Amino acid sequence: MKRNDMLQQARQRTEPWDIIVIGGGATGVGVAVDAATRGYATLLLEQHDFGKGTSSRSTKLVHGGVRYLEQGNVSLVMEALKERGLLRQNAPHLVSELPFIVPSYAWWEGPFYGIGLKVYQVLSGKYGFGASKLISKEETLRRLPNVNPDGLTGGVVYFDGQFDDTRLLINLAATAAEQGATLLNYAKVTALHKGADDVVNGVTWENVETGESFTVQARVVVNATGPFTDGVRRMADPDAKQMIAPSQGAHIVLDRSFLPGDTAIMVPHTSDGRVMFAIPWHGHTLVGTTDTPLKQASLEPVALDQEIEFMLETAALYLEKKPSRADILSVFAGIRPLAKSGEDSNTAALSRDHTIHIDKSGLLSIAGGKWTTYRNMAQDCVDQAATLGDLPDKNCVTKTLNIHGYHPNAAKFGALAFYGSDAPAIRELIAKDSTLAQSLDAKLPYVAAEVVWAAREEMARSVEDILARRTRALFLNSKAAVRMAPRVAALLAQELNRDKAWQIDQVEKFNHVAAGFQVKA
């Protein structure tokens, strides 16, 4: 993917696009993949970088959602479990099976959660992962060496999926591009336009890098802007009623010693009645999440102090080595774009199903759902968009579509495994220039070649793009990411032909964002 080529494609087209997608998160990029594979002329516009919004800030689980089963939403769980299986089939380089243990501290917890998790396993049918089972206290301690042993009676093991959210997103964008879609980051939609029939038939967008504006036409405009859905709807209808209830979820990242081994912990009932996880991820421990209703969405949400305290307190109940603020390597928050139901202020109780809404202006908005169900959401959305835009009937083909990077045995690429079939090309860069093998920081596995690759092939435009979303440095260890920034700026400047002043500005901007990922001890 090259941004200049994408810009040229966007400029050259004089015909209306079949579908314009606003928003480059999981939902929008999923819609672009689906639309392009059906042969529709597709343009996707993202105001910042792909995944800048919620889609880089998930718990990194490809899951059915044990909690939704508890809420009785069996259809959502079944749909998500099926999508979990399809995603592992289509992107095995990024999605893997992860064992979870629910530790039991009361006699009834084992049988109670054991039955629930057996149902969870049965609902996945032919898309199942491993079988769930009850295990002894000794087995629980063996698999979770740092679990709190006081009062432990045993545990329940079950299996779910894990992934890297932005690596999948970038690979999905590449898949859409390979199928003929045009996708642009740093392309902000600033206005919607209507035809004589008062129906939306185009957008004006700004190339954020140059300030240039363009007006383009489309048969259908899809609003996939997650937490920003209502703002975009109001570009067409200033009186549109609110359909999104934004809710923030935060995570903290600790080092591996808090969760040695390869098994995650699932806490089915925190003191506020939620589910919480401690998960091994990229050699670190990810703990989360929370559910805090918000009045307004922002592009760079920051975890609240009380969310951090709550996660530390909950983790301390289940871990023998108890984490403190000083142990937090990074903290990040994301905003759930939940579909609003009446006046309910308890966002944990709001449905995680997706919603497709067509305004009287003809603008089609899709919101809610989960990362796990992005494919099914996209299928639903493009079916509706095709009817709305009177596009030729074409069947969805994404159930069996390999996602860019597909590789059945990517583990053999070691630290580059997450690039899947792209890993040999990164190794080739190193073979041609050995300085690109240099590590960017001793605390993280990233090397200089990844910066060059991201700039040349993955449309990375800034230091933040590289450290937050092409690699996951900022999410894993914010201080290490700050140390890496000047070197990344220098490498990127060489690729993008930028000067020293640009590098200084980039590092400054990155440090500002990174401050929001740091916790004062």
Q: How far is the CB of 95 from ligand FAD (least distance, A)?
A: 11
Alpha carbon separation from 72 to 76, 304, 340, 520 (Å, rounded): 9, 30, 19, 40
Question: At a CB cut-off of 8 Å and minimum separation 6, what does 516 contact?
Answer: 300, 302
Q: Pick the piece of the chain touching ligand FAD (CB under 6 A) from 60-68, 71-79, 442-450, 470-478.
A: 60-68
Among 61, 176, 466, 493, binds ligand FAD (CB under 6 A): 61
DSSP string, 443-488: TS--BHHHHHHHHHHS---SHHIIIIIIS-HHHH-HHHHHHHHHHH
Q: What mask of x and - would describe binding to ligand FAD in positions 244 to 273, judged by CB under 6 A?
A: -----x------------------------
Question: At a CB cut-off of 8 Å and minimum separation 6, what does 297 contact?
Answer: 226, 227, 228, 244, 246, 335, 337
Q: How far is the CB of 25 from ligand FAD (least distance, A)?
A: 2
Q: How far is the CB of 50 from ligand FAD (least distance, A)?
A: 7
- Cα dihedral 23, 29, 30, 31 sign: positive
Judged by beta carbon, residue 153 or residue 204, the one nearer ligand FAD is 204
Q: Binding to ligand FAD by residue 95, rule CB under 6 A?
A: no
Question: At a CB cut-off of 8 Å and minimum separation 6, what does 258 contact?
Answer: 146, 278, 285, 315, 319, 321, 323, 327
Among 27, 201, 292, 398, binds ligand FAD (CB under 6 A): 27
Among 64, 110, 369, 389, binds ligand FAD (CB under 6 A): 369
Looking at residues 307 to 366 of the shown chain, list those that interact with ligand FAD (rule: CB under 6 A). Answer: 334-337
Judged by beta carbon, residue 23 or residue 85, the one nearer ligand FAD is 23
Helix (H) or strand (E) holding 228: none
Q: Binding to ligand FAD by residue 159, rule CB under 6 A?
A: no
Contacts with ligand FAD: how many residues (CB under 6 A)?
Answer: 40
Q: How far is the CB of 440 from ligand FAD (least distance, A)?
A: 25
Q: How far is the CB of 350 from ligand FAD (least distance, A)?
A: 12
Q: Pick the piece of the chain touching ligand FAD (CB under 6 A) from 18-26, 317-325, 383-391, 410-418.
A: 18-26
Q: Binding to ligand FAD by residue 46, rule CB under 6 A?
A: yes
Q: Binding to ligand FAD by residue 45, rule CB under 6 A?
A: yes
> Per the structure block, which two tokens stand in for 363?
């603008």
Looking at residues 166 to 225 of the shown chain, list those that interact with ligand FAD (rule: CB under 6 A). Answer: 188-189, 224-225
Q: CB 454: neighbour CB atoms within 10 A?
A: 24
Q: How far is the CB of 186 from ligand FAD (least distance, A)?
A: 9
Question: At a CB cut-off of 8 Å and minimum separation 6, what does 293 contact?
Answer: 245, 246, 247, 248, 345, 346, 347
Among 25, 85, 154, 420, binds ligand FAD (CB under 6 A): 25
Residue type, 317: L
Q: CB 8: neighbour CB atoms within 10 A?
A: 12
DSSP string, 329-362: SEEEEEEEEEEP-TT---GGGS--SEEEEE-TT-
Interatomic CA distance for residues 222 and 366, integer angstroms: 7
Q: Pick the piece of the chain touching ligand FAD (CB under 6 A) from 47-55, 104-112, 398-406, 477-485.
A: 47-55
Judged by beta carbon, residue 17 or residue 371, the one nearer ligand FAD is 371
β 133-136/154-162 pair status: antiparallel
Within 21-164, residue ranges assigned H as helices are 26-37, 66-70, 74-90, 109-123, 137-143
Q: How far is the CB of 454 from ligand FAD (least distance, A)?
A: 18
Q: Binding to ligand FAD by residue 160, rule CB under 6 A?
A: no
- Cα dihedral 507, 510, 515, 517 sign: negative
Q: Binding to ligand FAD by residue 382, rule CB under 6 A?
A: no
Owner of token pair 């004062």? 520
Q: How far is the CB of 232 from ligand FAD (least distance, A)?
A: 6
Looking at residues 119 to 138 of the shown chain, list those that interact with ligand FAD (rule: CB under 6 A). Answer: none
Q: Of 26, 5, 28, nearest to 459 (Cα)?
A: 5
Q: Binding to ligand FAD by residue 371, rule CB under 6 A?
A: yes
> Under the rule (CB under 6 A), what is the footprint of ligand FAD?
22-28, 45-48, 52-55, 57-61, 63, 188-189, 224-228, 232, 249, 289, 299, 334-337, 369-372
